[in-house]
Chain A
């Protein structure tokens, strides 16, 4: 019963949490404080699905070579996007009237296929693929092998929230990868895509699109762009983040970009919450 936990063992915050309401804003303000960085030396690197992996060997092999070349200097948690097969599955699901949570399951399967392929190509370097249940082993793999592969979809499955508009899961592989970097307090979050970074419009569709090398989340939201290079949910999460206050988007089709980004150089687009 409740009395059993109200003894001297509890901190003042503990007493307030046990008896108070978690919707009480005053109480929530007491829950701030320093947060440990769990994996401060690791980098989360997300490999795009439609942008990179769907291009096959021509795009994937140079990126993997660059990942391997950076293993001696950098630890990498490698997330994968989903891509065109997810778009196909989403299209079928929309046609059948399936809810967003089921589409989230379908997207997970596709990003898992991509994670498996990336993992097999890196297997000779001892790099494992880990599912969410295996994340407790991640620190060991990073210490021993310097990298691990995971699927970028957050494991929300049937509990994926509806989007404000439409039916496509709003939290996909950009978001799942970002949240890994935030919870572990990693030194960077790098998205490998097939464009130089953020533009004022999709450069694949609008040749007048202008490149944006650096921008804040607030500025970006104010622009209210029709399309973006990362999922919109990432921007909302960045504003509330404790650790991962910036993300970088780079063009993985350009050799050397990943190395520069891992080294902290200014390449691609830097989006920051501050």
Chain B
């Protein structure tokens, strides 16, 4: 830490504060910011519900209307922050973008449009309830106001990383997609729940579509899940990293939206799918 008794005042014009003159990269300084002050939960009663793109929205009338009916019931008593995935259109634009040699940040920017389109599809179905898709530019800043005025809001689940998306460990696909964006929003606002609605009952130790003996996993911690080294995960892999560093939202639940009644139970706190939690 900077010691004024041994170092003369410098030519930088500082504002007096706890972090004055400090390097925010210094490990000791960083550790000192982990104070006992409890973190504020800005929206502790809201539930974040992500509706899968490929798994639900792309299925059209076979999956979405039944889920919307349940959402309508839930919205009578609960505040919901709804988000959507980009689905097959995002997969398509990724494949074209990769073929054209475009970098990860550009792919992330392109993907925003598909999830936003799906947010508007969901918003059209929920519009009688006053639940609409909010433009991403104002969504975060005005979220508490919107949620105070309407039973729910919809956003494109993507985090606004866009050109600033991180290069992935392997290949070119943006690692922070709509599962991650939905989770990160819930973590920042201290929401009650994160529920990812897909077309599988939850997590299995193998793909149940190809392995008849796949074992269902109702609840699991991040470390144990990592140790299993599964070939695929039914959610953005980066969620495991994010959960490890979570402060407020220490778990999320994966449920099957083809059984829409499970959504109401998950929001009520029941485990009706798979709960993945920080250790």
Q: Check A222 for interface membership: any CB of B closer than 8 A.
A: no
Bound complex: CA of A229 vs CA of B12, how far in Å?
17
B34 near A167 with CB under 8 A, answer yes
**Distance (whole angstroms) from the CB of B121 to the closest CB of chain A:** 13
Q: Check B223 for interface membership: any CB of A closer than 8 A.
A: no
Segment at the interface with A among B18-26, B65-73, B263-271: B18-26
Bound complex: CA of A135 vs CA of B164, how far in Å?
11
Q: Chain B binding site: helix, strand, loop or mixed by DSSP?
A: loop
- Of all chain A residues, the one with the shortest Cβ separation from B190 is A99
B1 near A1 with CB under 8 A, answer no
Q: Which residues of B contact A229 (CB under 8 A)?
A: 25
Q: Check A180 for interface membership: any CB of B closer than 8 A.
A: yes
* Size category of the binding interface on chain B: 35 or more
Q: Which residues of B contact A232 (CB under 8 A)?
A: 25
A205 near B7 with CB under 8 A, answer yes
Contact of B26 among A183, A194, A226, A241 (CB under 8 A): A226
**Distance (whole angstroms) from the CB of A173 to the closest CB of chain B:** 10
Q: Which residues of A contact B24 (CB under 8 A)?
A: 87, 90, 168, 172, 231
Bound complex: CA of A17 vs CA of B133, how far in Å?
27
Q: Check A137 for interface membership: any CB of B closer than 8 A.
A: no
- Of all chain A residues, the one with the shortest Cβ separation from B89 is A5
* Size category of the binding interface on chain A: 35 or more
A227 near B103 with CB under 8 A, answer no
Segment at the interface with B among A49-57, A120-128, A141-149, A213-221: A49-57
Count of CB-CB pairs between chains A and B under 8 Å: 269
Q: 8 Å CB contacts to B: which residues of A48-105?
A: 50-51, 54-56, 58-59, 84-85, 87-88, 90-92, 94-102, 105
**Distance (whole angstroms) from the CB of B217 to the closest CB of chain A:** 15
B106 near A84 with CB under 8 A, answer no
Contact of B40 among A96, A132, A205 (CB under 8 A): A96
B236 near A183 with CB under 8 A, answer no
A165 near B171 with CB under 8 A, answer no
Q: Check A113 for interface membership: any CB of B closer than 8 A.
A: no
A2 near B58 with CB under 8 A, answer yes
Given contacts A56-B13, A99-B190, A162-B247, contact A35 B35 (CB under 8 A): no
Q: Check A208 for interface membership: any CB of B closer than 8 A.
A: no
Q: Check B124 for interface membership: any CB of A closer than 8 A.
A: no
Q: Check B224 for interface membership: any CB of A closer than 8 A.
A: no
On B, residues with C-beta under 8 Å from A are 1-3, 7, 10-28, 30-35, 37-40, 42, 54, 58-60, 88-89, 91-92, 94-96, 98-106, 137, 140-141, 143, 159-173, 177, 181, 184-185, 187-190, 231-237, 242, 245-248
